[in-house]
């Protein structure tokens, strides 16, 4: 087992079943499985959906999965791609097939935040994402305004998707067992809370600047993060109907949306 690739394989059938059921809401739409390993989820998914694309970075695992697990069971609807999931082009796949993706994965934790952002960036091409995350990251995704876990990732994911927890997963459900608890979350990307954010890259910049210095006020973190003069930023924050002394963790999603609309004027000047 390659520890560096986060190879903690699921050995609990009940959890596998719950993940697969949450992941497949439409038989016809393709499933992208990230990091199939030795197929604990893949074999279930292949019986529930028409086509599975399984992206596995480890060459040996990809070969074992194909030769020793899928072929003997006659599961011919799984295409294994031996590559890094970060290089998969979701938008090209959508343009090519016209079909939105259902993503599923028991992710290696070292890439979970990056992959989450990639999923959110590609929201228009994705129907849903059902993913196992380390508990702390999963809690951030569902955290509400004002809680200690409310963060950049909470705002970005809830802006783009309806997020809910599928189940909590104990270390004993894996081999080898990780040191921490995990949690499976489901993101429905067809139900964004903020559907009018057309320029998600710009929205990300604002949210990142807002949470950049958690102890600072919104005014201080936005003006230093976006490099806009304090006097000017004070006016813009007021235009968005917010107090400049508030902190980012106290902002509702709609508050971020108003800030985004107000600050759109500055888009071409902001390079961060």
Which residue ranges make up the site for ligand SAM (CB under 6 A)? 5-10, 34-37, 40-41, 55-58, 61, 84-86, 106, 108, 111
In the bound state, the residue with its beta carbon closest to ligand SAM is 35
Q: Which residues in 155-268 belong to E strands, given as ranges?
A: 162-169, 174-175, 182-188
The nearest distance, CB 52 to ligand SAM, in angstroms, is 12
Nearer residue to ligand SAM within complex by CB, 2 or 191? 2
Nearer residue to ligand SAM within complex by CB, 38 or 194? 38
The nearest distance, CB 190 to ligand SAM, in angstroms, is 25
232: its two tokens: 């000017």
Nearer residue to ligand SAM within complex by CB, 7 or 51? 7
Residues 6+ apart with CB under 8 A from 91: 122, 124, 125
SS3 103: strand
What is the enclosing helix (H) or strand (E) of 15?
helix 13-23
Contact 181, 135 (CB under 8 A): yes
The nearest distance, CB 40 to ligand SAM, in angstroms, is 4
Question: How far is it, in rounded angstroms, from Cα 17 to Cα 32?
Answer: 17
Nearer residue to ligand SAM within complex by CB, 84 or 199? 84
The nearest distance, CB 176 to ligand SAM, in angstroms, is 10
Q: What is the 3-state secondary structure (H, E, C) of 137-166?
A: HHHHHHCCCCCCCCCHHHHHHHHHCEEEEE
The nearest distance, CB 157 to ligand SAM, in angstroms, is 20
Residues 6+ apart with CB under 8 A from 153: 113, 116, 137, 140, 141
The nearest distance, CB 179 to ligand SAM, in angstroms, is 13
SS3 117: helix
Residue given tokens 């993913």 in the structure block: 131
Nearer residue to ligand SAM within complex by CB, 130 or 157? 130
The nearest distance, CB 42 to ligand SAM, in angstroms, is 7
Question: How far is it, in rounded angstroms, from Cα 212 to Cα 205?
Answer: 10
Residue given tokens 């806009």 in the structure block: 228
Residues 6+ apart with CB under 8 A from 136: 149, 180
């Amino acid at each position: 087992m390659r520890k560096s690739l986060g190879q903690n394989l699921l050995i609990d059938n009940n959890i596998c079943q719950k993940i697969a059921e949450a992941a497949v809401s439409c038989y016809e739409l393709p499933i992208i499985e990230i990091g199939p390993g030795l197929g604990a989820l893949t074999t279930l998914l292949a019986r529930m959906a028409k086509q599975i694309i399984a992206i596995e970075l480890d060459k040996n695992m990809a070969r074992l999965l194909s030769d020793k697990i899928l072929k003997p069971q006659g599961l011919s609807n799984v295409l294994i791609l031996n590559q890094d999931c970060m290089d998969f082009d979701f938008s090209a796949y959508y343009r090519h097939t016209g079909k939105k993706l259902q993503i599923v994965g028991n992710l290696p934790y070292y890439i979970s935040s990056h992959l989450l952002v990639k999923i959110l960036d590609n929201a228009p091409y994705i129907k849903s994402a059902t993913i196992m995350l380390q508990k702390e990251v999963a809690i951030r995704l569902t955290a509400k305004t004002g809680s200690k876990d409310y963060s950049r990732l909470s705002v970005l994911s809830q802006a783009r998707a309806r997020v809910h927890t599928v189940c909590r997963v104990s270390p004993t459900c894996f081999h080898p067992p990780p040191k921490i608890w995990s949690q499976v979350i489901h993101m429905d990307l067809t139900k964004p809370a903020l559907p009018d954010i057309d320029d998600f890259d710009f929205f990300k910049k604002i949210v990142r600047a807002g949470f950049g210095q958690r102890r600072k006020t919104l005014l201080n973190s936005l003006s230093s993060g976006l490099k806009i003069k304090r006097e000017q930023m004070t006016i813009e924050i007021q235009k968005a109907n917010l107090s400049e002394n508030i902190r980012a963790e106290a902002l509702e999603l709609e508050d971020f949306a108003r800030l985004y609309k107000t600050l759109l004027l500055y888009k071409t000047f902001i390079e961060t």
